[in-house]
Amino acid sequence: MADDSLSAFLAGAAAAIGARHVVTDPADQARHLVEWRGLYRGETPAVLRPGTTAEVAEIVRLAAATRTPLVPQGGNTGLVGGQIPVPGAGEVVVSLERLDRIRAVDAAGYTVTVEAGATLEAVHAAAEAVDRLFPLTLASQGSCRIGGNVSTNAGGTAVLSYGNTRDLVLGLEVVLADGRVLNGLRRLRKDNAGYDLKQLFIGTEGTLGIVTAAVLKLLPRPREVAVAFVGLDGPAEALALLARARDEAGSSVTGFEVMAGGAVAFALRHLAGARRPTAADHPWYVLVEISSGAADGTARRLLETALAEAIEAGEVADAVVASSLGQAAEFWRLRHGLSEVQRHEGASIKHDVSVPLADLPAFLVEAEAAVRAAFPGCRPVPFGHMGDGNIHFNVSQPIGADGAAFLARWDEMNAVVHAVVRRYDGSVAAEHGVGRLKRDLLAETRDPVEIELMRRLKTTLDPLGILNPGRVIQAP
Amino acid sequence: MADDSLSAFLAGAAAAIGARHVVTDPADQARHLVEWRGLYRGETPAVLRPGTTAEVAEIVRLAAATRTPLVPQGGNTGLVGGQIPVPGAGEVVVSLERLDRIRAVDAAGYTVTVEAGATLEAVHAAAEAVDRLFPLTLASQGSCRIGGNVSTNAGGTAVLSYGNTRDLVLGLEVVLADGRVLNGLRRLRKDNAGYDLKQLFIGTEGTLGIVTAAVLKLLPRPREVAVAFVGLDGPAEALALLARARDEAGSSVTGFEVMAGGAVAFALRHLAGARRPTAADHPWYVLVEISSGAADGTARRLLETALAEAIEAGEVADAVVASSLGQAAEFWRLRHGLSEVQRHEGASIKHDVSVPLADLPAFLVEAEAAVRAAFPGCRPVPFGHMGDGNIHFNVSQPIGADGAAFLARWDEMNAVVHAVVRRYDGSVAAEHGVGRLKRDLLAETRDPVEIELMRRLKTTLDPLGILNPGRVIQAP
């Protein structure tokens, strides 16, 4: 991009949104340019902070006229480099943070209309205030923002019962690549009036349009939640327990997280005040949560019945049902801490994969064997959303080894794990998306017909290639 | 289309799928050419009956080479003319009936893989055989087929709890407009590896590709279902009861159908052996269904609690909880019969609309007043899926009036009802789709940006315009 077209763009942007919202000071830019784990560090001519949808639209119009590449950014919690501007590429960041209003809460209609910059936590609070539930649950919910959740089709721990973000979106407002606004903020649960255009912008990581607002589904708020921490021998036993729990409680099973014993050991060692819920150590653990609409002991009764059956069948070694909200929160804190505590054990290489649910036990056995064979001494500490077949297959370095040398073999480790994933027709980007990290991997692992179709969509919807360029798919 | 290119196409098709599967005899074609209510009657050079995905692909390749327009057809239960070939247009029907295999049932993974021509009932049976539930529930389930369900994003009576067909699809196999096959039969519940291409083919009515197979979600099978037939004063009271039921039972409320008293009266008059469940007549009725995973009386208890609260609050006048499976089935039979029985009351004009849930009571009052004012003596008999804000706002002719004269004012009646729908930001095609019936209405009622984007998708994915041409959106 020529300097003068960038200058023209920035001058136009300043006129459109106010000069003070065109952030060029490096200190003020800093929090937008570093991915939280430090894996990506970006550079940008400016961070733009529009305050309205009309301002976002004007920015995109100017960008189209000047061929300025734009990188939309929400809470900057992404894990695949999508939201970080590539150094030297002249990419301008469009932060949606100032579009953070809850536009409307409709308790009787079970919807909330929010702008892209609202944090997930703010949406939870708005729902709770009218005795409703917005079920999307992520470890980053205090900082991630709805626009990012929608653009990445965020998953989390409640997908088993409530679906991914895609399943929770009723309507979208989107700024298209030419600056026009798609007004799709409908609050309808059934609408087959033509193509469902919002699907084009959910999970496409800001490459086809910039989401500025969304209508989200709300649900009845559970009156009672029962949580158990369960010790068992392996993932096959966990799968059997899942079937028992769902047989007993159906879609009221709102959480089913599996954790390798090693992963839990890390949390017990490094998480302040953490204690092992079970009396003894076990090779694997499960956190299971059942919710119910009535506050009459139903959830706890269903959970205890499923656990009793599993214990009788020899599938479960030990199980502790939380006796208070505080204890339940403590079980969840252990689970949510698993990712963070790994840094205390040196370097780790991560995989965000999914396989068909029934294949998960076999996948875990094979993947663990494969990485142990290829990386002697390495410590696989997988955990994840068993109910969705989605595992964060993380591998910590051997004790005492050189962390940098271990990390240097990142691609090699990925190849070993992904080979097993592909044998099971799994996904190498289950919930964190593709971004920059997995773009080339995507092109390798997907059918050429699929890749060509993705390219065609990209060139159809963003013919100038100005929206989050190079993320997800390389335009032709 | 020139005669010789049609001849070339048919010769190629006969070579590809066998001459006996190229149906040209009028008697054999007949069942493919008449919409079941007789509203559309079609003509076609041939009905093709391919038996495999490869054969469908070959048909589409030949059609692209010869510019032959194709009309995909499943169970021929559509209500908007999408599946009926336009007389004189040379449209060739591609029936998916022979692709009717259940390819795989995965009980442990809660999925089923089926071909497009499998009936919905066959999928229900396959799920039941492994103690699972496929929740899509339609009055036409004995004859409608999965390819049509997917292509129209079918809704039905269980959407409140389980979602539309879109929410139940994990993977699709699709023949694209150039005859290539998109192999997307994944069984994953979380997969953000690039754009979710299957969304392009769900609910787009065969205009962007031909669905040949699908992986569908299965769910735990409820062990107990409680059903009540409730008499009340109006939709506002019904909305209050819905909130109470959901407060009590959350997403275990698996059905919530509202019916005008007049609609139920028709059913009682014309449905063989039908009896009014309540002791007296009421202005409105609700059928409410709650399901539970445990067979321990939970569903019935939750239902009775919600009803007792509503009676105490003066919202419900009378309620009968089914005391047997037979009685529950009888309640549902009344509801499912509402559409069919209308023909015994003369001509009727239908609307398939949705509005935001909370606006439904006001919409019903206003729409009824509007049609009564414009059509004196007419008999509005609305009913539908209250939990989804989706109403079949049907209007029967005045008693003793001339049916043909009444039907001649179809567009005028539509305009009256749709004007009210639009005031509430509703949909004029909530679950039956657009097809040929509502194509022009769609173009009038949707934002020009949306229409332009739909056109762009159509030309991108079907540049020759050979797939179900003129349905949903007119190509430029």
Mutate to test the interface with A, among B136, B170, B180, B191 (most CBs of A within 10 A): B191
Over the stretch A90-116, which tens digit does the pLDDT of each residue have? 999 999 999 999 999 999 999 999 999
Give the nearest chain B residue to A110 (CA atoms): B357
Q: How many CB atoms lie within 10 A of CB A30?
A: 11
Kindly state the percentage of chain B with pLDDT values over 90.
92
Q: What is the DSSP letter of A233?
A: S
* Residues of chain A contacting B461 with CB distance shorter than 8 Å: 456
Cα–Cα distance, B246 to B230 (Å, whole number): 16
Q: Mutate which of A103, A112, A195 to disrupt the B interface (most B C-beta within 10 Å)? A: A195
Nearest to B193 among A108, A192, A434 (CB): A434
Q: Residue range A461-472: average pLDDT?
A: 98
Residue A319 pairs in a beta bridge with: A230
Residues 147-176 of B with CB under 8 A from A: 152-153, 155, 159-161, 163-164, 166-167, 176
- The verdict on a CB contact (< 8 Å) between A194 and B473 is yes
pLDDT bracket for residue A211 (50, 70, 90): very high
Q: Do B195 and A457 touch (CB under 8 A)?
A: yes
Tokens of B157: 């009576």
CB contact under 8 A, B109 and A359: yes
Q: State ipTM.
A: 0.96
- Per-residue model confidence (pLDDT) at position B215: 98
325-364 of B, contacting A, C-beta below 8 A: 354-359
Second CATH level (architecture) for the domain B224-339: 2-Layer Sandwich (3.30)
Q: Select from B208, B427, B457 the Cβ nearest to the Cβ of A191.
A: B427
In this prediction, residue A295 carries a pLDDT of 83
CA distance B458 to B452: 10
Q: Which of A111, A222, A460 has its CB closest to that of B250?
A: A222
Residue whose C-alpha is closest to residue A430's, from B193, B199, B111, B109: B193
Residue with tokens 């509402």: B338
Cα A396 from Cα A399, distance rounded (Å)? 9
Q: What's the pLDDT score for residue A341? A: 93
Q: Which residues of A touch B190 (CB under 8 A)?
A: 155, 159, 164, 354, 385, 388-390, 427, 430-431
User: Could you tell me which of A196, A154, A200, A240 has the C-alpha nearest to residue A431?
Assistant: A154
Contacts of residue B37, defined as CB under 8 A and 6 or more positions apart, other chains included, come to: B79
**pLDDT 10s per residue in chain B (476 long)?**
467 899 999 999 999 999 999 999 999 999 999 998 888 999 999 999 999 999 999 999 999 999 999 999 999 999 999 999 999 999 999 999 999 999 999 999 999 999 999 999 999 999 999 999 999 999 889 999 999 999 999 998 899 999 999 999 999 999 999 999 999 999 999 999 999 999 999 999 999 999 999 999 999 999 899 999 999 999 999 999 999 999 888 888 999 999 999 999 999 999 999 999 999 999 999 999 999 887 888 899 999 999 999 999 999 999 999 999 999 999 999 999 998 899 999 999 999 999 999 999 999 999 999 999 999 999 999 999 999 999 999 999 999 999 999 999 999 999 999 999 999 999 999 999 999 999 999 988 899 999 999 999 999 999 999 999 999 999 87
CB of B275 within 8 Å of a chain A CB? The answer is no
Contact A72, A84 (CB under 8 A): no
Tens of pLDDT, residue by residue over A454-465, are 999 999 999 999
Q: Does domain B3-95 have CATH number 3.50.50.60?
A: no
Residues of A in contact with B184 (CB under 8 A): 450
Domain B102-220 has CATH 3.30.465.10: yes
- Give the closest of B167, B249, B454 to A293, CB-based: B249
Burial of residue B373 (number of CB atoms within 10 Å: 0-12, 13-18, 19+): exposed
B62-107, pLDDT tens digit by residue? 999 999 999 999 999 999 999 999 999 999 999 999 999 999 999 9
Closest chain B residue by Cα to residue A175: B449
pLDDT-derived band at A293 (thresholds 50, 70, 90) equals: confident
Contact, B135 vs B219, CB < 8 A?
Answer: yes
Interface contact A190-B359, CB threshold 8 A: no
Domains of chain A, residue spans: 3-95, 102-220, 224-339, 346-430
What average pLDDT does this structure show over A64-78? Answer: 97
Q: Contact A181/A209 with Cβ under 8 angstroms? A: no
Q: Does B379 touch chain A (CB under 8 A)?
A: no
Across the interface, do A249 and B294 touch by the CB < 8 Å criterion?
yes
The pLDDT assigned to B293 comes to 81
Q: Rounded CA gap, A28 and A6, in Å?
A: 20
Percent of chain B with pLDDT over 70: 100
| C-alpha closest to that of B394 among B260, B302, B268 | B260
Span B346-430: which CATH code? 3.30.70.2740
pLDDT at position B109 is: 94
Of B361, B429, B422, which Cα lies nearest the Cα of B152? B429
What is the token pair recorded at B454? 């739909």
Residue B265 · residue B337 · CB < 8 Å: no
Spell out which residues of chain A touch residue B451, defining contact as CB-CB under 8 Å: 194
> In percent, how much of chain A has pLDDT > 90?
92
Distance from CA of B454 to the nearest CA of A (A): 6
- Nearest Cα residue in chain A from B301: A294
Whether A3-95 and A346-430 share one fold: the answer is: no
Using DSSP, how many helices (H) and how many strands (E) does chain A show? 16, 21
Beta carbons within 8 Å of B449's beta carbon, 6+ residues apart: A176, A180, A181, A182, A183
Average the pLDDT over A141-158 and give the result. Answer: 95
Residue A316 confidence (pLDDT): 97
Query: Cα–Cα distance between B130 and B122 in angstroms, integer?
Result: 13
- Among left, alpha and beta (phi > 0; psi -120 to 50; other), residue A400 is left
- Whether A302 has a pLDDT exceeding 80, the answer reads yes
* pLDDT, position B296: 83
For residue A150, give the nearest of A190, A99, A86 by alpha carbon: A99
The answer to whether A210 and A57 are in contact (CB under 8 A) is no
pLDDT tens digits along B264-288: 999 999 999 999 999 999 999 999 9
CB atoms within 10 A of CB B236: 16
Q: How far is it, in rounded angstroms, from Cα B356 to Cα A169?
A: 14
Strands B132-133 and B219-220: antiparallel
